[in-house]
């Protein structure tokens, strides 16, 4: 039920409007004065989507109440209805964010349209605020998990950086150390959380597309540009633009980006006017941008403009004590996503996890845990699916040993050439081939049920006929 607060000192009009909206399913509170309205809002904690108010009440201006309530309650749209009002009042009402300013007498049909529109706007705004608050909770500085000295240093820096307005920042560190996570923390825990976070991998696009994606284009700017396109810098206005792998950006585009940052203006390709933008730039690279700037592979002026602050993320091999927090965290995450119930991490698993150097850092660890959880058949994390160097083959299950189907194990590459679905499909195909396409024997070898195996065979479109 939507809440409506009516602030109206005319008894007959207040009663009529209250009766009308209650009959239409609204939860209505009616206050004949500002002091009573303040009690309803603060003492009774009434949370209206819409406030319908006279402008001038016996004890003051409703604009003063609107201004005083900003930030104290969830977002509400204010509609002012008055029999007499001045131009300054109208200007102040709009400046404070009033939804509409109507003159008395106002027909109920007209009022219904405005209230309905304001309700949609307030509901949408609350959803956006709730989403931002959820992101804020999810991406607080504490989201950078770990009790090592290196992790604590990063968290302390993030805590400070989210409290200050910073125009640009460079994140360094090896691939997989969490540069994307840090960017989300800086945005959603910072002052720009209500505005967009736009991300771009500079290594993923050729030069021509990269320029168009960054700066946008007008219709007809080049072959195939059939409509206007707002670039990512423009889309990030008021928020944050994350430029991942910025070291791969061509030098001429770096010059154009520098000008946009310095001037706080952009011009779309094929456009003839400049567009003002206010964007926080977070740049990341697994390469040493300072060294690249010295050797001429990256513009030194752009580097120094971006390097308002530099945050270097530690590799996992330098903070292996963080495994104690990261591994259970990832197990819980993938249990929730896959419906598995892995609760026990055996000593052998911990031995292998701590003995590995993790060249792919946290990303590699996360992938290893995801693989183990998805292929688990019970509460114990299956060590054979870690597949770390020195343990590259999946150990056969007890069922496989007794069936005699899988005696030589199974090799799966961890060079990125196979994703998890490819691995799953390959395992099933191999088990079927080794069992002579006997589904019962293959299911027994894989330690699963016939129904589960048949479901995956249909999912991957695997041919079960013998050849």
Look at residues 337, 368, 391 and tell me which one is the last residue of a structural domain: 391
Q: Are residues 224 and 289 in the same domain?
A: yes
pLDDT at residue number 96: 78
Asked if 148 and 255 sit in the same domain, the reply is: yes
29 and 85 in a single domain? The answer is yes
Q: What is the tens place of the pLDDT at every residue in 59-83? A: 988 988 988 887 677 788 999 988 7
Confidence of residue 56 (pLDDT cuts 50, 70, 90): confident
pLDDT of residue 399 exceeding 50, the answer is no
- In terms of domains, do 259 and 279 share one? yes
Q: Report the pLDDT averaged over residues 402-411.
A: 49
User: Do 72 and 182 sit in the same domain of this protein?
Assistant: no
Assess contact for 128 and 194: CB atoms under 8 A: yes
Angle at 231 between CA 229 and CA 233, to 5 degrees: 160
Share of the chain above pLDDT 70, in %: 90
Quick one: 329 and 404 in the same domain?
Answer: no
In which band, very low, low, confident or very high, does the pLDDT at 409 lie, cut at 50, 70 and 90? Answer: low
DSSP characters for 310-345?
Answer: EEEPPPGGG-GGGHHHHHHHHHHHHHHHHT----B-
Q: Is 364 in the same domain as 446?
A: no
Check pLDDT > 60 for residue 233: yes
Are 408 and 383 contained in the same domain? no
Domain hosting 405: range is: 394-467
**Residue 258 vs residue 97, higher pLDDT:** 258
State both tokens at 227: 């409509």
Digit-coded pLDDT (tens) for 254-277: 999 999 999 999 999 988 889 999
Give the model confidence (pLDDT) of 326-356 as tens digits: 999 999 999 999 899 999 999 999 999 999 9
- Shared-domain flag, residues 171 and 286: yes
Lowest-confidence segment of 107-121, 137-151, 353-367, 415-429 by average pLDDT: 415-429
pLDDT digits (tens, 9 = 90+) for 453-464: 887 888 888 877
CATH of the domain at 343: 1.10.8.60
Q: Which of 76, 110, 135 is where one domain is finished? A: 135
Residue 413: pLDDT band (50, 70, 90) is low
The residues near 341 (Cβ < 8 Å, ≥ 6 apart) are 335, 378, 379
* 287 and 147 share one domain: yes
Q: What is the value of pTM for the model shown?
A: 0.62
Say whether pLDDT at 85 is over 90.
Answer: no
> Is the Cβ–Cβ distance between 268 and 256 less than 8 Å?
no
Q: Which pLDDT value is given to residue 16? A: 92
- Give pLDDT tens digits for 174-198: 999 999 999 999 999 998 988 899 9
Domain identity same for 271 and 324: no
List the CATH number of the domain containing 193. Answer: 3.40.50.300
Residue 448: name the closest of 380, 377, 397 by CA: 377
Domain count of the fold of the chain: 4
Picking from 391, 420, 455, the residue at the C-terminal end of a domain is 391
Instruction: Find the CATH number of the domain harbouring 87.
Output: 3.40.50.2300
Query: Rounded CA gap, 250 and 236, in Å?
Result: 21
pLDDT at 130 over 50: yes
Structure token digits, residue 261:
């940052």
Q: Indicate whether 274 and 151 sit together in one domain.
A: yes
Q: Is the pLDDT of residue 425 over 90?
A: no
DSSP 448: S
Checking if the pLDDT of 408 tops 90, the result is no
CB neighbourhood size of 356 (10 A) = 20
Task: Give the pLDDT confidence of 41-52 residue by residue, as tens digits.
Answer: 988 889 899 999
């Amino acid at each position: 039920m939507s809440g409506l607060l009516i602030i109206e000192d005319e008894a007959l009009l207040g009663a009529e409007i209250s009766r009308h909206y209650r009959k239409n399913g609204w939860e209505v509170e009616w206050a004949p004065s500002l002091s009573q309205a303040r009690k309803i809002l603060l003492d009774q904690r009434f949370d209206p989507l819409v406030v319908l108010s006279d402008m001038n009440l016996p004890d003051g201006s409703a604009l003063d109440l609107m201004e005083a309530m900003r930030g104290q309650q969830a977002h509400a749209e204010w509609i002012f209805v008055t029999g007499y009002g001045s131009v300054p009042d109208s200007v102040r009402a709009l400046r404070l964010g009033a939804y509409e300013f109507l003159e008395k007498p106002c027909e109920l049909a007209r009022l219904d349209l405005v209230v309905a529109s304001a309700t949609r706007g307030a509901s949408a705004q609350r959803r956006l605020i709730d989403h931002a608050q959820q992101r804020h909770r999810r991406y607080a500085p504490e989201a950078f998990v770990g009790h090592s000295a290196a992790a604590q240093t990063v968290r302390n820096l993030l805590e400070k950086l989210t409290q200050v307005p910073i125009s640009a920042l460079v994140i360094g560190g090896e691939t997989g150390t969490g540069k994307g996570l840090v960017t989300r923390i800086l945005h959603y825990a910072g002052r720009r959380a209500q505005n967009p976070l736009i991300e771009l991998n500079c290594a993923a696009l050729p030069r021509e597309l990269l320029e168009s994606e960054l700066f946008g284009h007008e219709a007809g700017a080049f072959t195939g540009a059939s409509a206007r396109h707002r670039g990512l810098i423009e889309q990030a206005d008021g928020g944050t633009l994350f430029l991942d792998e910025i070291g791969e950006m061509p030098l001429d585009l770096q010059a154009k980006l520098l000008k946009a940052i310095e001037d706080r203006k952009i011009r779309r390709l094929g456009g003839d006017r400049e567009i003002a933008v206010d964007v926080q730039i977070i740049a990341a690279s697994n390469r040493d941008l300072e060294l690249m700037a010295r050797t001429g592979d990256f513009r030194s002026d752009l580097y120094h403009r971006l390097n308002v602050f530099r945050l270097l993320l530690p590799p996992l091999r330098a903070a292996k004590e963080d495994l104690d927090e990261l591994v259970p965290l990832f197990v819980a995450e993938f249990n929730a996503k896959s419906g598995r119930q892995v609760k026990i991490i055996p000593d052998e698993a911990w031995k292998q996890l701590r003995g590995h150097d993790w060249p792919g850092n946290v990303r590699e660890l996360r992938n290893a845990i995801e693989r183990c959880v998805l292929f688990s058949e019970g509460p114990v994390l299956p060590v054979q699916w870690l597949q770390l160097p020195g343990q590259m083959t999946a150990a056969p299950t007890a069922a496989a040993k007794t069936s005699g189907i899988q005696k030589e194990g199974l090799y799966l590459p961890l060079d990125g050439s196979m994703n998890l679905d490819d691995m799953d499909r390959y395992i099933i195909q191999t088990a079927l081939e080794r069992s002579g396409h006997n589904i019962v024997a293959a299911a027994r070898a894989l330690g699963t049920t016939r129904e589960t195996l048949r479901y995956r065979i249909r999912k991957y479109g695997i041919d079960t006929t013998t050849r």
